[in-house]
A = this chain, B = another copy of it.
Amino acid sequence: MIANKFSLLAGTIPTSKEQYVSILLDYIGKTTFLTDKEVQGIVDNMDIRTYKKGDLILQEGAITTMCLFVLKGCIREYRIKNGEELTTNFYTDQQPVSCLIGNPNREPSPFFLEAVEKTIATASTPEEEEAMFKKFPRFEQICRIKVEELMTETQSKMSDYITSTPTERYLNLVKTRPELIDKVPQYQLASFIGIKPETLSRIRKKLAKGE
């Protein structure tokens, strides 16, 4: 399925969302504690979408203010430059899709989003979030704190990227995101660490030989 030029692909709604609630609560729970009533209210208001492997969730140039939070699965962010697909991020279990978090000026998307595998995600518009935060002010506080943490993490990843060699970037990926290594084609991993597939191939061979 392919997203149209003007919006995020809607996805399908799973028959039961209860099974995914614990994933969200686990993520939230690291920060603070919510009452049962708050949890129930948040869950009732949650909009969960399922994307099939290969679904194009967002097209370059499309405008969306919708936010996604991956409960389970993998979404790839990429751009196309001189006809070449360049992967710029992967969002996996318990990760907000950070390129979508704040778009108040309704800028057209510079990237594509694609489901690498079957992916279940919460989807929300700023209006839905505002309504939820009005009902559950503590949830707004949690979201603020989580975005702050994510911000520092992302800046740290950016600094790691700038100060690392391609081999160091690959080793870091193997260490910090091992789930990606088998899940994702080599050419996507290669562009994500800023190199050509053949260079990644050489790096892997060298590492396998223990050089």
Residues of A within 8 A of B (CB): 31, 77, 79, 81, 86, 88-89, 98-104, 110-111, 133, 137, 140-141, 143-145, 147-159, 161-163, 191-192, 194
Grouping DSSP codes into helix (H, G, I), strand (E, B) and loop, the A interface class, with mixed when no group exceeds half, is helix
Residues of B near A31 (CB, < 8 A) are 104
CA distance A149 to B137 in the complex (A): 20
Contacts of A155 in B (CB 8 A): 89, 98-99, 101, 154
Query: Which chain B residue has the least Cβ–Cβ distance from A105?
Result: B149
The reply to whether B162 and A111 contact each other, CB–CB distance below 8 Å, is: no
**Sampled A-B contacts (6; CB under 8 Å):** A88-B163, A89-B159, A104-B145, A110-B156, A144-B147, A150-B151
Chain B hits for A79, CB < 8 A: 159, 163
Question: Which B residues touch A98, using CB under 8 A?
Answer: 151-152, 154-155
Contact (Cβ within 8 A) B141 A102: no
Nearest 9 A-B pairs (CB), nearest first? A102-B148, A88-B159, A102-B149, A144-B144, A98-B155, A99-B155, A86-B163, A101-B151, A102-B152
**Identical copies in the complex:** 2
Contact B158 A102 (CB under 8 A): no
A98 to B99, CA, bound (A): 16
Is there an interface contact between A88 and B158, defined as CB atoms closer than 8 Å?
yes
- Once the chains are docked, how many angstroms separate the CA of A141 from the CA of B152? 19
> Which residues of the partner chain B approach A161 to less than 8 Å between Cβ atoms?
158, 161-162
Q: List, in ascending order, chain B residues with CB within 8 A of A88's CB.
A: 158-159, 162-163
Q: Which residues of B contact A145 (CB under 8 A)?
A: 102, 104
